Amino acid sequence: MGTLLQFCHATIYTNDWAIKVRGDPKSVKRIAEKYGFTNMGQIGDLKGYYSFRHQQTANRSTEFNKEVTNHLAKETKVEWLQQQVVLRRVKRTSRRSHVHATDLVTGHLQSPFHQSNLNHTVNVSWPLWNNLWYTSCSETNGCQFGMNILAAWRRGYTGKGVVVSVLDDGIEKEHPDLKPNYDPLASCDVNEQERDPSPSYSNNAANSHGTQCAGTVAASANNSLCTVGVSFHARIGGIRMLGGDVTDIVEALSLNFRPQYIDIYLASWGPDDDGATLEGPGPLAHLALQSGIENGRQGRGSIFVWASGNGGQTGDHCSCDAYTSSIYTISVSSISRYGVRPDYLEECSSTLAAAYSGEETEEMMIVGPQQGCSRTLSGTSLSSSLAAGVIALTLEANPLLTWRDVQHIIVRTSKAHHLVAPDWHYNGAGYKVSLLYGFGLLDAESMVKEAERWKQVPAQRKCVEEAIQLSRIIYPGSVLTSTYETTGCSSEALRYVVYVEHVVICITITHSRRGDLSITLTSPAGTVSQLLAHRPLDNSTEGFQNWEFMTTHSWGEQAAGEWTLKIKDTPSQKRDNAKLGMLKKWSLVIYGTAEQPYPVHHQRVRSAELSMDSELTEGYGGPCDPECSDDGCDGPGPQQCVTCLHFLLKFKNNSRLCVSDCPRGFWGDRWRCKRCYSSCASCTGSRSNQCISCVPGHHLTEDTNTCTASCEDNYYLDHDTDLCKKCSENCLKCTSYNICTECKPGTSLQGNRCQRSCDDGFYHDMQEDECRPCHEACATCAGTGVEACNRCAKGFLMEEWRCASSCSAGFYATEPTPEIADGHRICRRCDSSCLTCVGPGRQNCSSCSSGHRLQEGVCVVNTECTDGEYQDSDKACRACDATCQKCTGPRREDCISCGSSQQAVPGLPHPSPNEW
């Protein structure tokens, strides 16, 4: 079965091209128009990269459009182009789930879990929280070691101010558990090019995966229907990109959507877990990941959380999935609450940590489809969703963390206790690591505590050693060994790496059966990373072509020294080719820092015992602590000073300590540290309006210097600075200075601004300070023109945020419903297989693009041409001359038979209509 999978999936080409153009927008427009393309716009934030759509090419075809591609390639300003192909992407879904009905009266699940209403302010000591499946850990239920999420909540961290977006098949924004935290600014539908990320359940499609992941991350804590999310005050968005054809463009747009607004991107999908696939991000998706790391979150780097994979039962190895083995992603595996490996779990050296998932003997409630709940089992999707929630808690504790800071914190705080694995070992830096669980189980409390005091790690260095050209034979049954001696690029200051983070091996191997190979890398400290294990179902003869393997198992070790690559070929009975494998080349890339990323706390060495007289002198005559003043001390410590050189810190138990600076939560009043107001983290005095920064869960209000849990009226939370800033003049409430959500009396909301109230059909002209009529297509509007409509007038339809008298080609009109567009009809885009349509889905096409024909409402590829058409050299059906009923070519001379009242004369032109 594994063999068949490699050959059944034919390449499907779309009518979209990705193209890199060197030049201004005018050049891009000229090139697009010259070759019959529609410029769909720049691809996210990837400068110079554009999406072109060719209307004369079939939406889906097994044939590559060589002619169009070659024409484009001849343009001097075109640096790169690629016709897009449909990618097979699989959700890391649980193996079974079923929906549970809700109580028709209360609307809540019939369970004791939901019989009590949650208060607006969550009390984490309430018994409900101890019953959540991911927080319930005790000896009575067999759980050995928890993720300490409850403890992180008790410290005040709930994900507030953090934005998470789920890249998946969509999320139900109206689900009762998601609606309070849903963020439209973190959401879109890339497949349909709309704002609404709601999943499609047409044709019984199983599209609840994104909703389930979103609920695990950020289901609301108030009046929950199904569960409570790990970061239940985080903002949650959805990017629908698995709801249609997935291409490199679709992935790049999704990974690069609003990187300055979204903090965490959750992706619980990837290439097939069939034990035979070798695949990773395309060139655009790779650039999008790199762009997010370099530019996202105001330069601190977007956080990409990825599910490691569910292919354990097929012998898959997640190093063959280049999404999870990228240094830019946090790859998360699964562990049962009993510390046992789930049977679906894959091994690889790129996994950073593990999180809980379900077990076969345990069912737990999560958010389900169609505003319901579901009980589900297992899957790295759940584990990665838990991890995204824990990282949201960590970012709330310290929003200034970089993408590498987050990975360092995970490495330093993850717990290996009680996790059962045969390969646990300590690396050269003292970290315990495993192919199954990385550095261990995520610990939410330890992560937020570490984040509170974290200092940013030094800049990343990249040491690239030149590829070793070998062409060495890999003999069956033996091990090929190749070594590389490196100094960590010590001769190049900007590339010099002393302390290792990630190590990447780029390798090219030819082989008659790829699944027979296994590869290890040994660091100078002796740590062995298994880069690849045997894959029984991988019968590919393609080997590895510049494939990148990544390991985190040498984290913290010294880079300099001898790195040893070992390749073993274990012949299987499935191999039918006697051709020997060959290692063509390999190169070593080491990522890390030139300086120690954090202070090393050496253990105090016990001094040699000294023979001393049993009688002690009455006074202390030794050295004083540097923080003691000239008045002396009664002992060597800072708590034994007579008076302090700088500040005295006094504790409730009357103990004293001399310090150079007052710690967080205190301020210096002459020589004494005094406590700040309870909500202040730092301050200039003890009053509530003397705050400089706030404790977690509170925000500093501009101008008033007070700390509040939520911004007051006329203020909004600026997520970049974590400050409550003033709204614009007429706003009562707003989400930013210019985006009002509620207005002061005497004004009304016009678009995003509060303006003088005008009747329906009019808008406020700010320059003239008077109400002017809207465009005739608008029922209400924010300004002049049809593009400024908020709602459409009677007889008009909303089409992609503008009002039209009828739907354009490629769109269909929906029936009015109260939930959509305030009961007005709207125009929705036809299915990608239709040229025009009368309704949603593939079955409602009314016409098709060239090369297709309509068959019972579905567009199918022409196998033979109909009357009035002929088949060209590319086997596509083209229109005959208007006078022909049947023909062999486009000219009038090519007629085989004529239309009514016409007669074909071979080789002679036919009369024009004017000659009839």
* Residues marked as catalytic: 168, 209, 381
Read out DSSP for 609-663? P----SSPPSS--SPPPTTB-TT-BSSSSGGGBSSBSSEEEE-TTS-EEEESS--
Q: How many CA atoms lie within 13 A of 162 on its CB side?
A: 33
Quote the CA–CA distance of 913 and 895 in Å, as a whole number: 16
Q: What share of the chain is helix, strand, coil (3-state, %, to 5)?
A: 15, 30, 50
DSSP β-bridge partners for residue 668: 673
State how far Cα 369 lies from the chain centre. Answer: 21
The residue assigned the tokens 């889905």 is 841
Tokens read off for 541: 């003869």
Question: What sign does the CA torsion over 120, 124, 130, 135 have?
Answer: positive
Burial class (CB in 10 A: 0-12, 13-18, 19+), 370: exposed
Extended beta strands in 420-540, E state: 425-426, 432-433, 461-464, 468-474, 479-486, 499-510, 517-522, 528-532
Rounded distance, CA 488 to CA 495, Å?
8
Tokens for 749, please give them.
Answer: 């909301």
For residue 391, the surrounding DSSP H or E stretch is helix 380-397
Rounded to whole angstroms, the Cα distance separating 777 from 800 reads 14
Q: How far apart are CA 223 and CA 891, in angstroms?
A: 71
Q: Is 692 exposed, middle or buried (0-12, 13-18, 19+ CB in 10 A)?
A: middle
Residues 6+ apart with CB under 8 A from 587: 464, 465, 466, 467, 468, 505, 506, 507
The Cα 722–Cα 604 span in angstroms is: 40
b/e map 569-605, b = 16+ CB within 10 Å: beeeeebeeeeebbbbbbbbbbbbbbeebeeeeeeee
List the end-to-end C-alpha distance of the chain, in Å, as a whole number.
65
C-alpha 20/C-alpha 579 separation (Å) is 40
Q: Which two tokens stand for residue 480?
A: 């090929």
- Rounded-to-integer distance, Cα 731 and Cα 748, Å: 9
Q: Is the dihedral of CA 295, 298, 300, 304 positive or negative?
A: negative
Residue (of 408, 548, 569, 554) closest to 486 by Cα position: 554
Q: Kindly write down the DSSP assignment for every residue of 338-379, as one continuous string.
A: TS---TTPPB-TT--EEEE---TT--EEEE-STT-EEEE---
Contacts of 841 (CB under 8 A, 6+ apart): 202, 203, 831
Q: Strand 895-898 to strand 884-887: parallel, antiparallel, or no bridges (unpaired)?
A: antiparallel
Q: Which region holds residue 170: left if phi is over 0, alpha if psi is between -120 and 50, else beta?
A: left
Q: Among candidates 597, 624, 110, which has minimal Cα distance to 402?
A: 597
Tokens of 105: 């009266």
* H/E run at residue 746: none
Q: How many CB atoms lie within 10 A of CB 245?
A: 19
Q: Which amino acid is at 692?
A: I
Contacts of 118 (CB under 8 A, 6+ apart): 126, 128, 221, 222, 223, 224
